[in-house]
Amino acid sequence: MAKVKKQPRPKAETPKGFRDYFGPEVTMRKAMLEQIAEVYHRYGFEALETSAVETVEALGKFLPDVDRPNDGVFAWQEEEGGPWLALRYDLTAPLARVYAQYRNELPTPYRRYAMGPVWRNEKPGPGRFRQFYQCDADTVGAPSVAADAEICAMLADALEAVGIPRGDYIVRINNRKVLNGVLETMGLVGESGAEREAVLRTIDKFDKVGEDGVRELLTRGRLDASGAFIEGVGLSPDQAEPVIAFLISRADDGAATLANLREAVGGSAVGAEGVEELGRIADLLAAQGYGPDRIVIDPSVVRGLGYYTGPVFEAELTFEITDEKGRPRQFGSVAGGGRYDDLVKRFTGQVVPATGASIGVDRLLAALQAKGRIDATAAGPVVVTVMDRERMADYQAMAAELRKAGIRAEVYLGNPKNFGNQLKYADRRNAPVAVIEGGDEKARGVVQLKDLVLGAKIAESASLEEWKAQPAQFEVKREDLVAEVRRLLEQGR
């Protein structure tokens, strides 16, 4: 009889491009999302939660990673001939489906915010994951650029609410219509054409290669940092100049920038319309007190070129951090969005104006941590130690009293035989206080409180004997347990 082959044990590892989030990270994200939600709610937006799974047909094809399976989404077919399903790749495509499905029941305009994970079947890399959190706010059914201005103001308020002060961020605004006007002056009209697409891809590299780099890529080509030659689009220098003029149109003030853009779009009607919209947005923001220290018109902002139909915006953090090699660099973009009037049309056949923005939650958390504005080592619960396993009910009663008073607490549920292990556990849990009650303390109606925060500080700078002489552990009456623990917690903040 053949020997049955033993099934190998599965590897305990996350799939490539995915990661696990532990307690402090989850807590920090939750707190940040609550702060952002409060801002959105104050602006009159309502929460919406949609299914993580949509039909591929409903999602459409808007991902740039088209060389990946299923155009970059995680998709499957439940039965042959049946519909293909996919994990949502953003929170906007599901909104378009929701509005089309419930448009007769929803108010118009419909203002909603949504927060949750999204999945993209993209090639993973450093800082690039296949699952990540987004935090969106959108207005559907409002054609006025007042809706776009409101989104920009709300983005600025949200960044300040989570701890990014003025001077450390800027919201930059552009308009897709202005770019279309520039392309029109170059003779590159319509939504297709290899040359047009090549120009659009080159414009999107402006932040990386600068004015000279874009000029080279639009014309004869250039050498990249590695020395490899990148073929250019093949435009003549005269053909490339309208694009360059557009990209460097930003001036010292908004009025001068708009004047430069009017010149860049030449006689294009759609370009002039885009410039006019930018001017109205700037006026609306100024009336609300949002000046150029917070929000600016910046023609170099080019987002989702096949997706947006009007104003586009991007929130960028302007402070410096150091990379893994210790080199200074700016943190960059943490949020973006724009107007997408054609998305709902896919379902209804009618143009439905819409605009919105998405905050990259994980990037924003990383930025706050890089600046030391949030602590990745959040305080753990008070740990009630177990000196006598027969008196577990007493220890559970202590934890219950602390919890009823609003204090995080837990009873040590491991093997209580080695008391040192209990304190090591409390340290690993980042517990601020340990509660100790042996038989002697029980008989005298007292408990011992160990201030683990103070103990750690003393241990860093003192010998063991000196540490023993410090009041990091002291005795209190049993009835004063809650009050004394609260005092220690407030003292340690």
Q: What is the pLDDT of residues 343-382, one digit of tens each?
A: 899 899 999 999 999 999 988 988 888 777 676 667 899 9
Beta strands in 340-486 (DSSP E): 354-360, 382-384, 409-411, 433-436, 446-451, 473-477
Q: What is the Cα–Cα distance from 461 to 464, expressed in whole angstroms?
A: 10
Q: What is the pLDDT of residues 113-135, one digit of tens each?
A: 999 999 998 888 776 789 999 99
Low-confidence ranges of the chain (pLDDT < 70): 1-2, 61-70, 127, 189-193, 304-306, 322-328, 373, 375-377, 455-471, 492-493
Give bridge partners of residue 222 from the DSSP assignment: 230
- What pTM was estimated for this model as a whole? 0.83
Write down the pLDDT at residue 463: 54
Q: Rounded mean pLDDT of the chain? A: 87
Q: What are phi and psi of 36, to 5 degrees?
A: -65, -45
Helix (H, G, I), strand (E, B) or coil at 241: helix
Q: Which domains does the chain have, with CATH numbers?
A: 16-143+345-378 (3.30.930.10), 166-340 (3.30.930.10), 382-491 (3.40.50.800)
Write down the pLDDT at residue 188: 73
Write down the pLDDT at residue 160: 95
Q: What is the pLDDT of residues 248-280, one digit of tens each?
A: 888 888 889 999 899 888 889 999 999 999 999
Write down the pLDDT at residue 116: 95
Write down the pLDDT at residue 391: 95
* Secondary structure in 3-state letters for 451-468: EHHHHHHHHHHCCHHHHH
Instruction: Report CA-CA distances (Å) from 79 to 52, 53, 140, 237, 447.
Output: 20, 16, 35, 55, 64
Cβ proximity of 403 and 431 under 8 Å? no
Write down the pLDDT at residue 62: 54
Write down the pLDDT at residue 283: 96
Write down the pLDDT at residue 467: 46
**Strand 131-140, strand 110-119: pairing:** antiparallel
Nearest-CA neighbor of 206 among 238, 155, 172?
172
Write down the pLDDT at residue 300: 82
Q: Give the chain's count of helices (H) and strands (E).
A: 18, 18
18 DSSP 8-state letter: -
Question: Which amino acid belongs to residue 412?
Answer: Y
Cβ proximity of 392 and 386 under 8 Å? yes
